[in-house]
Amino acid sequence: MPSFFYTALDPRGKTVKGTISGATITEAARTLRSWGLSITALEEAGDPDEGASAPSPDLLTSLSFVTQADVVLLLKQMAAMLRSGISLVPTLSLLERQTSRRKLKFILARLRSEVETGKPLSEAMALFPRTFPSLLISMVKVGETTGLLETSLERVAALWEEKLGLFRRILSTLIYPALVFAAALGAVAFLVGYVVPKLTPFVKSMGGKLTWNVEILLAAGASFPVLAPKIFAGVALVAGLFGLLHYLPGPRYYLDLAKLRLPLIGSVFTSALVVHFARTFSLLLESGVPVLDSLRITEESASNYAAKKVLREMAERVLEGENLSAPLLNATRVFPPVVGTSVRVGEETGGVDTSLAMVARMYQELLEVRLKQLVNLIEPALIIFLGGIVAFVASAMICAIISSYGRLAG
């Protein structure tokens, strides 16, 4: 059945745009008038792909992926098109044609096909849970119910973008010292494993009494080829064990709990956890999502298993008729007391979402400060540590050479 693009005025005089199916343009116009619309433009959709069914995924599509940044951009573009008056099906079709990512193109084609059959966008998105999380689907469902889909998309896109920016800042803060430390260890391993063994025959042939640091370096160089495989195997075994425990809910709970108590970076993880919880939960409550559903969605979106357990207990308490703040005030090992106190104030004033939004802003600023402090602390400590290692190796090599020439001169 052909599709037609229309522009019309509703009974309040507001311009509306969209697409409608009909056997003929006359039938489509009759349907629009029955809706109480005054038609200003009506034309058949000329793009042959507009009504095409969604293709089946090929091998390359199945192997490709969609990043979170791609989804954020998609939500922003979709919200902008809907706000400009373009209806949902043409919006999905336009986004499908302009994207260059195979996986995203297939997903958009499938969404368009499902929406054309009358299925809500939220139900269509639920077919791709790896791309569209429950938070997004719930916000889309709220937008569909209230008629403010573009507003819901803008809100969840803003939240998602803030989350991605926060993750990138934490990652960049932690990855810099890790890379420098790894490079320094590689340089020391090269000196001890390759340079020192080449120097050892020369030093021994010259004779003379070697200093303690030279003895340590020579012993390390001699044992390095034997110990290196065992060290690497041990590191790989420990990393594999932690990776296995990471996927087991029981051990993962204690690992995530211990992560919040680590020196220096524990406060960073705690602040990031509070920001994610407060922003997500407040956004859902502000959008009109029921409390239990908001807790469930926030729990699913949390990556820390200790926080998941607290949120699960909160949902159970709410089902029993208790308030939200009690579990938070009892979970001081996971959430700072100010979070529970703010929620209690919000319960008393009827503004839990407002209180949590304030907590999110406060801990966002605190997180920025702690990240800067962490960088300012790690950089000089790393320089001193690496400088000490390099100085020890260099002094040992110089002492060995001086000792050898001293013996030769004697």
CB 124 within 8 A of CB 114: yes
* Angle, helices 266-286/149-190, rounded to nearest 10 degrees: 170
pLDDT computed for residue 53 by the predictor: 47
Nearest to 303, CA basis, from 357, 256, 237? 256
Rounded Cα gap, residues 187 and 198, in angstroms: 16
* Angle, helices 149-190/352-409, rounded to nearest 10 degrees: 10
Exposure on the CB side of residue 8, measured as CA atoms within 13 A: 23
Rounded Cα gap, residues 176 and 200, in angstroms: 35
CB 12 within 8 A of CB 2: no
pLDDT computed for residue 1 by the predictor: 56
Sheet containing 38-44: give its strands across.
Answer: 15-21, 3-9, 38-44
Q: What are phi and psi of 322, to 5 degrees?
A: -90, 175
Q: Could you write out the DSSP letters of every residue in 67-88?
A: -HHHHHHHHHHHHHHHHTT--H
Segment 26-77, tens digit of pLDDT: 777 778 777 777 777 777 664 444 444 445 666 666 667 788 888 888 889 8
pLDDT computed for residue 203 by the predictor: 65
C-alpha separations of 8 from 80, 151, 198 in Å: 20, 22, 85
C-alpha separations of 312 from 37, 88, 319, 326 in Å: 48, 36, 11, 13
| Alpha helices, H only, 211-248 | 212-246
Rounded Cα gap, residues 327 and 137, in angstroms: 27
Token pair listed for 109: 């084609």
Distance of CA 284 to the CA centre of its chain: 18
Token pair listed for 284: 């859902």
Buried b or exposed e, range 128-141, using 16+ CB within 10 angstroms: eeebbbbbbbbbbb
**Which amino acid is it at 396?**
A
Q: Show the low-confidence residues of the chain (pLDDT under 70).
A: 1-2, 12-13, 44-63, 196-197, 199-200, 202-211, 214, 218, 221-222, 224, 400, 403-410
Segment 188-220, tens digit of pLDDT: 777 777 776 676 676 666 665 556 776 777 677
Rounded Cα gap, residues 198 and 183, in angstroms: 22
Counting other chains too, the contacts that 82-86 makes at CB distance below 8 Å and 24 or more residues apart are 82/149, 82/150, 82/153, 83/150, 85/15, 85/16, 85/17, 86/17
Rounded Cα gap, residues 289 and 281, in angstroms: 10
Q: Could you write out the DSSP letters of every residue in 146-169?
A: HT-HHHHHHHHHHHHHHHHHHHHH
pLDDT computed for residue 382 by the predictor: 78
